[in-house]
Structure 1
Amino acid sequence: MAKLQTSPEPGQWALPDLWLLSDARNDAVLEGALACLPRGSGFVFRHYHLDPGARQERFEALRDAARKRDHVVVLSGSPVLARKWRADGVYGPAGAMPRDDSLLKIATAHDWKEIVAAERAGADAILLSPVFSTASHPDAKPLGPVRFRLLARKTQVPVIALGGMTHARAKRLGWPRWAAIDGLS
């Protein structure tokens, strides 16, 4: 299991700066992508396209590969499922966040209202998207760098940039934490 250190404030986790999200598009290359990430990065397993049995089997294989590199492993799903599958945390909308501090909680947000909901839910981090145009949501209007930074700086909760992110765009954005699907796989 990846070792997470809590900061001096209860409920706060030391978060990786770089996060890889799984998707049907990058499934075939995930083991290689996990091996190439810097040690101690983050991995969010989604894989909504699989039936429950196949999803659990794939999660366990990728969790084990991620742990070989000391990556933090977060599951998109219920807190009960995250504990059962031995994930380090849970990912999803603010309303799905557990009320206790036993799991790392990463809430998704796309606007200020969802950021506030994530704060109220006690999220340890907010995955704010889409920063740039993305293949995952081609019809979604991207926030753009300026609006992203304005929203992200209004919260005390650490923000992870997602949406069309690559190493070059992360550098241009100048944001310390970012995540990608295609951009890291």
Structure 2
Amino acid sequence: MLPRLWLLSDARNDAVLAEALVTMPEGSGFVFRHYHLGPPERRERWEMLRSIVRSKNHLLVLSGGADQGKEWEADGIYGPPGKLGKRLGLLRFATAHDAREIHLANRIGADALFLSPVFPTRSHPDGRALGATLFHQLAERSSIPVIALGGMTAERARELAVTRWAAIDGLS
């Protein structure tokens, strides 16, 4: 069963991640990105957060390749559908921003996709948000579960009537 609530890591929420992970409902999902760190520091931060994630029975997903995901003992990997590669016993979570990427995620048999940005975000301040109508139109094209991402909060998830959503700032 896929979690309904997801937290994604980012440089700007790093200082509050431990607290956010502890307060999230048990069995939520966590995507570790931390692109701002070099390889040794990124692995060290992963190890620090992994114990919290495991203690709360959260799903632990790494932004990276399948080989790295296996090595780091992740539950799954996260990235563009064209870069998810082989399964290696891991869940695969595709990122999608348009119909083409949704088609690719469907075709490779990803386990779910993060469709974004639904609303304007600090991550992509100049980017074009999908908005509710286009989000729903695109989500209908998916044969796999969709997780709404981008400017999401609990209130916006209710307004969109989505069962799965993710946030960076909205949960940290």
TM-score, normalization by structure 1: 0.91
Give the equivalent residue in structure 2 for 1:85: 72
Amino acid at match of 1:161: A
Return the match for 1:137 from 113, 124, 127. 124
Name the counterpart of 1:6: none
The count of residues paired between Structure 1 and Structure 2 equals 172
Is the 8 Å Cα contact of residues 99 and 122 (structure 1) preserved in structure 2?
A: no
CA contact (8 A) 1:20 1:180 kept: yes
SS at match of 1:164: coil
- Could you say which residue in structure 1 is the equivalent of 2:102? 115
For the pair 1:29 / 2:16, whether they are aligned, the reply is yes
Q: Please list every run of 5 or more consecutive structure 2 residues that lacks an aligned counterpart in the other structure.
A: none
Hey, what does 1:11 align to over in structure 2? none
Instruction: Give the TM-score taking structure 2 as reference length.
Output: 0.98
Q: What is the DSSP-based 3-state SS (H/G/I as helix, E as strand, rest coil) of the residue aligned with 2:166? A: strand
Q: 2:135 — aligned with what? A: 148
- Look up the match of 2:6: 19
Mapped partners of 1:164, 1:105: distance in 2 = 23
In the alignment, the residues of structure 2 paired with residue 61 and residue 121 of structure 1 have an alpha-carbon distance, to the nearest angstrom, of: 32
Structure 1, unaligned runs of 5 or more: 1-13
Partners in 1 of 2:88 and 2:67 — Cα distance?
13
Q: Is the 8 A contact 1:20 1:179 kept in 2?
A: yes
Quote how far apart the aligned CAs of 1:101 are. 5.8
Q: CA deviation at 1:98?
A: 3.0
Alignment of 1:46-61 (within 5 A): 46-61=33-48
1:99 deviation in Å? Answer: 2.7
Match of 1:42 among 29, 32, 46: 29
Question: How well do the aligned residues superpose, as a CA RMSD in angstroms?
Answer: 0.8
Structure 2 residue matching 1:67: 3-state secondary structure:
helix
User: What is the CA distance between 1:155 and its match in structure 2?
Assistant: 1.5
8 A contact 1:88–1:104 mirrored in 2: yes
CA distance in 2: counterparts of 1:132 and 1:99, whole angstroms:
31
SS at match of 1:74: strand
Q: Show the counterpart of 1:168.
A: 155
Cα distance in 2 for partners of 1:155, 1:101 equals 23
1:183 aligned onto 2:150: no
8 Å Cα contact 1:99/1:121 also seen in 2:
no
Partner residue, 2:51: 64
User: Equivalent pairs: percent with the same residue?
Assistant: 59
